[in-house]
Amino acid sequence: MFKQIAIIGTTASGKTDLAIQVALKTNAVILSLDSLCIYKEINIASAKPTSDEMRGVRHFGVDVISINDDFSAGKFFELYNEAKMHALNANCALIITGGSGFYLKAMLNGLSPDVPKCQDVPSNDEIFAMVCKIDPDFSQKFSQNDTYRLEKWYQIYSHTNQIPSLWLKQNTAKPIIDEIEIFEICWDVSKIRDRIAKRTQNMIKSGLIDEAKFLFSNFNNDLKPLKSIGLKECKEFLDEKISINELQTLITTHTAQLAKRQRTFNRSAFLNKKSANIDEIYKLSLEALKP
Task: Classify residue 43: in a domain, yes or no.
Answer: yes
Residue 14 known to bind ligand: yes
Residue 147 annotated as binding site:
no
- The answer on whether 99 is annotated among ligand-binding residues is no
Domain encompassing residue 204: 4-110+175-288
Domain assignment present for 224: yes
Look up residue 200 and give its DSSP letter. H
**147 in the same domain as 215:** no
CA distances from residue 14 to 49, 109, 184, 188, 192 in whole angstroms, order as listed? 11, 26, 11, 13, 10
Nearest 5 degrees, angle CA 193-CA 196-CA 198?
110
Q: In this structure, are 142 and 23 located in the same domain?
A: no
What digits encode the pLDDT tens for the residues 58-104? 999 999 999 999 888 888 899 999 999 999 999 999 999 999 998 99
Give the per-residue pLDDT at 108.
94
Q: Is the confidence at residue 200, as pLDDT, over 80?
A: yes
The region of weakest confidence among 110-119, 170-179, 216-225 is 110-119
Same domain for 167 and 192: no
Same domain, 157 and 230: no
Identify the band that residue 141 occupies on the pLDDT scale cut at 50, 70 and 90: confident
Answer yes or no: do 101 and 210 share one domain.
Answer: yes
pLDDT in tens, 144-159: 778 878 888 999 999 9
The structural domain count of the chain equals 2
The reply to whether 221 and 238 lie within a common domain is yes
Q: DSSP of 4-57, one letter per residue?
A: EEEEEESTTSSHHHHHHHHHHHHT-EEEE--TTTTBTT-STTTTPPPHHHHHHS
Report whether pLDDT(142) > 80.
no
Question: Domain for residue 118, yes or no?
Answer: no
95 and 49 in a single domain? The answer is yes
User: Is the pLDDT confidence value at 139 over 90?
Assistant: no
Q: Is the pLDDT of residue 267 over 80?
A: yes
Q: 199 and 88, same structural domain?
A: yes
- Other C-beta atoms closer than 10 Å to the C-beta of 280 total 14
State what percent of residues in the chain have pLDDT above 70: 100
| 181 and 254 share one domain | yes
CA distance linking residue 163 with residue 161, whole number of Å = 7
- 94-113, pLDDT tens digit by residue? 999 999 998 999 999 888 87
Q: What's the CATH number where 42 sits?
A: 3.40.50.300
Give the model's pLDDT for residue 140: 81
Smallest CA-to-CA distance from 6 within 274, 277, 263, 187 is with 274
**DSSP alpha helix (H) spans, the chain:** 15-26, 51-56, 73-90, 101-109, 124-134, 136-139, 147-160, 164-171, 189-205, 208-218, 231-238, 244-269, 278-288
User: Do residues 80 and 31 make contact, with C-beta atoms less than 8 angstroms apart?
Assistant: yes
pLDDT for position 83: 97
Question: Is 10 labeled as ligand-binding?
Answer: yes
* Nearest Cα to Cα of residue 204 among 94, 45, 10: 45
Q: Calculate the alpha carbon distances from 77 to 151, 183, 220, 242 in Å.
A: 24, 20, 27, 39
Identify whether 117 is part of a domain: no
Task: Assess if residue 90 is contained within a domain.
Answer: yes
- Taking CB atoms within 8 Å and a gap of at least 24, the contacts of 114-121 are 114/72, 114/74, 115/155, 115/156, 115/159, 115/160, 116/155, 116/159, 117/155, 118/151, 118/154, 118/155, 118/158, 121/151, 121/154
Report whether pLDDT(260) > 90: yes
State whether 166 and 211 are in the same domain. Answer: no
Average pLDDT in the 48-57 region? Answer: 90
Average pLDDT on 33-49 reads 95
Report the mean per-residue pLDDT for the chain.
94
**Is 105 a member of any domain?**
yes
pLDDT at 208: 98
13 labeled part of a ligand binding site: yes
Show Cβ contacts of residue 92 under 8 Å, excluding neighbours closer than 6 positions: 26, 27, 28, 29
- Residue 274 or 179, more confident: 274
Same domain, yes or no: 183 and 259: yes
16 belongs to an annotated ligand binding site? yes
Residue 119 covered by a domain:
no
pLDDT of residue 172: 86
* pTM as predicted: 0.85
Q: Within 13 A of 176's CA, how many CA atoms are on the CB side?
A: 20
Rounded distance, CA 17 to CA 22, Å? Answer: 9
Does 11 show up as a binding residue in the annotation? Answer: yes
> Residue 115 falls within a domain, yes or no?
no
**Res 118: pLDDT:** 83
Alpha carbons 64 and 67: distance in angstroms, whole number: 10
Position 258 confidence tier, pLDDT thresholds 50, 70, 90: very high
Sign, Cα dihedral of 72, 74, 76, 78? negative
Verify that 186 and 97 share a domain, yes or no: yes
